[in-house]
Amino acid sequence: MLDKKIKNVLFDLDGTLADTAPDLAYALNTLLQERGQTPLPLEIIRPSVSLGGIAMVRLAFDIDEHSSDFAVLKNRFLEIYRANIARHTMLFEGMEQVLSTFESSHLPWGIVTNKASWLTEPLMQALNLSARTNCIVSGDTVEQCKPHPAPLLHACRLLRCHAEETLYVGDAKRDIEAGNSAAMTTLVASYGYIDENDEPDAWGADGQVDTPLEILDWIA
């Protein structure tokens, strides 16, 4: 039985709902090979995925946004990724059961991600989730991105719900900061893309889950 206090659940996308790292790594390594450089192991790329395309390009090419070549590299990286957006991406193990439980319990769930809508929407379609979710808020849906609470509060407006009755699950510090600023209950998805130097215990979340199924245990 789901806790009546939590009436809605929102998820970050990359590293929380779905394991997108293999396809993002494929795109980044394809770009590296195009530039005559050596591909990187997935375990090196994986922790940067939740930080977005800028962080991934910075990692691969050891340059920052002020480099004259940065925008070209980033745009090419995203172009490759869009063309290969769901080669190997899938829900994390146990997440399908979590979503099915929410749906059978009539508990609305949605996505709040910093991923741009031109990438979020085709990915959700490829995963057959577009018709199942109650809302999708992408990185360009509102003016601000996480860690600002605006995207989460916009999701509440779409769901016609109160933030205080909403759980937000994410695998990055900015997810927890945004959820806390929005007065939501927050959970760290410790199974996600957390770097060994991260300190999720210090992020101020209400709890942590090591597997998606623990979300059900936590709110039961």
Task: Spot the catalytic one: 3, 12, 19, 201.
Answer: 12
CA distance 119 to 194: 22
Task: Give bridge partners of residue 14 from the DSSP assignment.
Answer: 18
Mark whether 175 is an active-site residue. no
Rg, the chain, Cα only: 17
Burial (0-12, 13-18, 19+ Cβ within 10 Å), 153: buried
Per the structure block, which two tokens stand in for 18?
């779905």
CA distance 169 to 102: 14
Task: Spot the catalytic one: 3, 14, 140, 198.
Answer: 14
Strand ranges for 104-143 from DSSP E: 109-112, 135-137
Mark whether 69 is an active-site residue. no
Q: What are phi and psi of 10, to 5 degrees?
A: -120, 145
Active site residues: 12, 14
